Amino acid sequence: MIEVEKKTRSAAIIGGGVIGGAWAARFLLNGWNVRLFDPDPEAERKMSEVLGNARRSLPMLYDRALPPEGALTHVATIAEAVADAAWVQESVPERLEIKHKAIAEIQDAIDPEAVIGSSTSGFKPSELQEGSTDPGQILVTHPFNPVYLLPLVEVVPSPATDPRATAWARWVLGSIGMHPLVVRQEIDAHIADRFLEAVWREALWLIKDGVATTEEIDDAIRYGFGLRWAQMGLFETYRVAGGEAGMRHFIGQFGPALKWPWTKLMDVPELTDDLVDAIADQSDAQSGHLSIRELERLRDENLVSILRALKGRGSAAGALIANHESTLPKEASPDAELLPSIDRTVPIDWTDYNGHMNESRFGQVFSDAADYVMVHVGADADYIARGLSYFTVDIRIRFLAEAKAGQRITVKSQVLQGEGKKLRLFHRILDADGAEMATGEQMLIHVSLEPRRACDPAPEVLAKVEALASAHAALPRPSDKELM
């Protein structure tokens, strides 16, 4: 398959609806150029709105900046979209004849070494490959909405798919922060939608039989098992439910219930006009006071908060985000310049009832900036594992302007003193225009972690601290009113 470093990171998105537009946003915000083909005359407006949501929410997941955004180009033909593309994502309507037509046009113009991923939720790759000129370059890559936030993508090859195409799909999708779940064998609706279909069928019966409303069913999910599933999935959740005896005990205790007539999974209620009206009316009563864009914003902000919580624990999808973050480039700086210690977006969970970043999070930013300086001088994770580190003993913060959710901030750090056990830093938080939002003066003392007492740094770290302090002494210093 194509070596991405030998080509421009260029993706072609065929179909710019809810899924295709979100695919485009995911690629763009990870530094890929995107050519988008969608015959809808409203495609540019819709894409602009989806990208606006993505620009606000995706960077909030990370504690460093994403790569510079790629260029988006709307094109008039499929051939224009796929020219020189390293990745092609087909997201046309879920009708097999439409997908066959789109794939034929793609293959007429595509690089023979490129891969075509289809967003289909139901068709098997072998069905997509019917009549194609090269079945080996086609596979399913089924994402979940919103694609720019939810990392799961089901990668489904058929026996005819080139194994190199599957490997390429895993690399490309992993590089943009997704979790490629390779499905062992093709099957209708893949893996995740088979679960969703089962829940959907039972929900329809509960409404038809007058047992529950749409809101009550959603409450059962979002206040209960949905929270567990977000971090543990199905089997790990039930393993815990089995207590100390584990999964075997759980199955022994609850397995007999599978023979009870609890569900109607093999029987689908007829979607009569009355049932459709009941579902639609209940849904309007539940959420009709909010526009779709407002619901999307609420969904995105909630997902950011949940995913960031998981990231803080290194768990489930949060661990994936942390791993992806470690691959993002960090700006380097020579010692003779201020250190670019922070470049990130303010996440929604850092804001308070006033709608701006609260005081404690300014302290978090300065703490993270100090961590950057520590790594720069060699006091990194390995150094800490040796039982040595720096502790903050004093800090002064000046608040100059509000910082709001979704706002890009950077920090420039300067070493004011670096000698013996002392490391004195000065940080400036800047907005996107370079205006100061806050300053922080910070005194750190080097310590031994076992007795938790001050001690001299290791010689190699002290040498770097002294060299950095000497270089920064030539830079303009903060004014007297900015210092303690």
**What gap in Å lies between CA 138 and CA 106, rounded to an integer?**
11
The CATH 1.10.1040.10 portion of the chain extends over 193-289
Looking at the chain, the domain(s) classified CATH 3.40.50.720 span 4-190
**Run of H or E including 280:** helix 273-287
Fold of 330-482: Thiol Ester Dehydrase; Chain A (3.10.129)
Run means of pLDDT, 10 residues per run, the chain, 484 residues = 61 96 98 97 96 96 96 98 96 96 97 94 96 97 96 98 96 97 95 92 94 95 90 87 84 80 82 90 92 90 94 93 92 89 96 93 97 97 97 96 96 97 98 96 97 97 97 94 82
- Both structure tokens of 105: 């046009």
pLDDT at 241: 84
Burial per residue of 118-147, b for 16 or more beta-carbon CB atoms within 10 angstroms, e otherwise: bbbbebbbbbbbeebeebbbbbbbbbbebb
pLDDT at 258: 74
CATH placement of domain 193-289: 1.10.1040.10
* pLDDT tens by residue, 458-467: 999 999 999 9
Half-sphere exposure of 275 (CA within 13 A, CB side): 15
Cα separation of 53 and 48, whole Å? 9
Q: 249 near 242, Cβ under 8 Å?
A: yes
Sheet architecture: strand order including 179-182: 72-75, 33-37, 10-14, 87-90, 116-118, 138-143, 152-156, 179-182
d(CA 312, CA 300): 18
Give ranges for CATH 3.10.129.10 in the chain: 330-482
Compute the radius of gyration of the chain from its Cα atoms.
Answer: 27
For domain 4-190, give the fold: Rossmann fold (3.40.50)
CA distance 132 to 42: 30
User: Looking up tokens 């994502």, which residue turns up?
Assistant: 89
The pLDDT value recorded for residue 333 is 82
Residue-wise pLDDT tens digits, 128-146? 999 999 999 999 999 999 9
Instruction: State both tokens at 267.
Output: 């029987």
pTM (2 d.p.):
0.89
CA dihedral 58, 63, 64, 67 (to 10 degrees): -20
Q: What does the pLDDT read at residue 6? A: 43
